[in-house]
Amino acid sequence: MLPYQLLNVFVTDDIWSGNPLAVFKPEHDLSDETMQQLAQQMNLSEITFVRPSTTQTAADAEVRIFTPSYEMPFAGHPTLGTAFAVAQGQDTVKLAMKAGVIPVQVTPDLLTLTANTPTYRDAPTHAELAEALSINAIQISATPRFVNTGTEQLIIPLDSAESVAQCSLNLALFERVAANNEGRSGALVWAWQDDTVIARYFWSQHGQAAEDFGTGSACANLGGWLLAENAVLPLQLQMEQGHGIGRIARLSLSIKADRQIQVGGKVRQIGRGEFDLGGYVGRR
């Protein structure tokens, strides 16, 4: 039997909020094929597999992250949810991922990860991005950039929350202009609404347009974007995501005076279960 926990990450006070995550703790190493098949079976944006750390990085656990289509080197809500599942009273958890060792601070009310130092790449023209989002180029309010604090994504600032709500993907063009350094397309569109960032995250999955509930990696990359814009530090803000798909996620973003980027959120366990894979489990 293969047990798992079902969590919601970046929750509000509503039980049906945040981004769902399944965390698996297999007793034996699973094959890449089996982990990918389980991700497809669960059909969540991501699931994680946790094993005791065998590296020399002083991590508390090793984590692999899978979407229904592919493995990711880093993602925000899987990092926080996995830290919640393995913390066992610790106030700091270090998780070894393909993007490196990610530290997570754990309190009863909030889990907070520290992202990698951002790197940047130029984005396509405003005109191309606007066409891909089915908006007008003048609705792009500042310089879009590819930002990478663990997973490279396109960060696109818009002039209003109304413009964020208006976005609708021209999928073929979006897949071309939003392709990251691994050839996968994803973009955060966002705007200020008073002191809160209103955001949507789009990506392409199995040749179809998809929208995420709450994207911690993109929130970290927004922090990198703000650093590139010489934001006044220290900085702290709240990001809300999911309005367009009827399920709100609430994320916190902090940038310290030393330019360290932190993303936080609340995590709630809502269930647990187990898979009976019998003799079908593939092991490495």
Report yes or no on 41 lying in a domain. Answer: yes
- 134 and 86 within one domain: no
What is the pLDDT at residue 56?
62
pLDDT digits (tens, 9 = 90+) for 8-28: 999 999 989 999 999 999 988
Buried b (16+ CB within 10 A) or exposed e, 61-84: bbbbbbbbeeebbbbbbbbbbbbb
- 222 and 178 within one domain: yes
Report yes or no on 113 lying in a domain. Answer: no
Rounded Cα–Cα distance for residues 159 and 1 (Å): 51
pLDDT digits (tens, 9 = 90+) for 100-113: 999 999 998 899 99
Which helix (H) or strand (E) element contains residue 171? Answer: helix 171-177
Per-residue confidence band for 284, with pLDDT thresholds at 50, 70 and 90: very low
Which helix (H) or strand (E) element contains residue 164? Answer: helix 161-166
For the chain, what is the radius of gyration of the CA atoms?
18
Q: For the beta carbon of residue 243, count every other beta carbon within 10 angstroms.
A: 15
> Is 46 a residue of the active site?
yes
60, 95 contact by CB (below 8 A): yes
pLDDT digits (tens, 9 = 90+) for 214-236: 999 999 999 999 999 999 999 99
What is the pLDDT at residue 40?
95
Between residues 1 and 54, which one has the greater pLDDT? 1
Whether 57 shows a pLDDT value over 70: the answer reads no
- 132 and 51 within one domain: no
pLDDT digits (tens, 9 = 90+) for 168-195: 999 999 999 999 999 999 999 999 999 9
Whether 258 shows a pLDDT value over 90: the answer reads yes
- 168 and 66 within one domain: no
- 69 and 50 within one domain: yes
Per-residue confidence band for 267, with pLDDT thresholds at 50, 70 and 90: very high
What is the helix, strand, coil percentage profile of the chain, to 5? 25, 40, 35
- 154 and 25 within one domain: no
- 226 and 99 within one domain: no
Report yes or no on 180 lying in a domain. Answer: yes
Report yes or no on 170 lying in a domain. Answer: yes
pLDDT digits (tens, 9 = 90+) for 140-152: 999 999 999 999 9
In total, how many domains does the chain have? 2
- 250 and 182 within one domain: yes
**What are residue 153's phi and psi, to 5 degrees?**
-145, 155
253, 241 contact by CB (below 8 A): no
Q: How far is CA 87 from CA 52, 69, 83, 94, in A?
A: 13, 28, 6, 9
Q: For the beta carbon of residue 142, count every other beta carbon within 10 angstroms.
A: 12
What is the pLDDT at residue 278?
75
- 252 and 274 within one domain: no
Q: How far is CA 44 from CA 24, 118, 131, 139, in A?
A: 13, 27, 29, 32
- 199 and 97 within one domain: no
Rounded Cα–Cα distance for residues 136 and 127 (Å): 8
Average pLDDT rounded to a whole number, residues 151-175: 97
114, 120 contact by CB (below 8 A): no
Between residues 53 and 250, which one has the greater pLDDT? 250
Q: Model's pTM, two decimal places?
A: 0.93
Report yes or no on 112 lying in a domain. Answer: no
Average pLDDT of the chain, as a whole number:
94
Report yes or no on 114 lying in a domain. Answer: no
- Residue with structure tokens 């890449």? 32
CATH number at residue 235: 3.10.310.10
- Of 14-18, 82-86, 184-188, 203-207, give the lowest mean pLDDT range: 203-207
Report yes or no on 57 lying in a domain. Answer: yes
Catalytic residue among 46, 62, 175, 240: 46
156, 188 contact by CB (below 8 A): yes
Start-to-end Cα distance in the chain: 17
- 273 and 259 within one domain: no
Average pLDDT rounded to a whole number, residues 117-125: 98
Average pLDDT rounded to a whole number, residues 28-39: 94
Say how many CA atoms lie within 13 Å of 10 toward its Cβ.
31
109, 123 contact by CB (below 8 A): no
- 152 and 82 within one domain: no
242, 213 contact by CB (below 8 A): yes
Residue span of the structural domain in which 54 resides: 2-107+267-280
Q: Which residues pair with 103 in a beta bridge?
A: 94
Per-residue confidence band for 249, with pLDDT thresholds at 50, 70 and 90: very high
ω into residue 144 within 30 of 0, thus cis?
A: no
